[in-house]
Structure 1
């Protein structure tokens, strides 16, 4: 049996803090834009976590996210 995942709660807390930071930034500044992008990224992360609850085992999720092996470069000559 899998333990109760707390990643959604933690991500929601991070989102809350990021939104508070965004609110304090001055409009039009580069830091506000950076904070806005961070909030958007965290919103997306929380939305994905809510849509797909963790139903697979940790080893199965690692196997499913494995990338293809790196390509070897062949140089002519």
Structure 2
């Protein structure tokens, strides 16, 4: 089974007014949505690395970024 990572998906401007449609597209292409940040135009969710290229190709997607974790020194 492919490992899942958390991604932050930024929604393209043309879809920010219709976030439910964007979320549906993302889910149908393998993103397990955890949180929708409508005011920021972002969706946070988990997907296999193999799905990233497919997600980036969707009309509703501006960018797909891997979640980063920082540790204090």
Q: TM-score range by the shorter chain?
A: under 0.3
Greater radius of gyration (CA): 1
Higher share in helix: 1
Query: TM-score scaled to structure 1, two decimals?
Result: 0.24
TM-score (norm: length of structure 2):
0.25
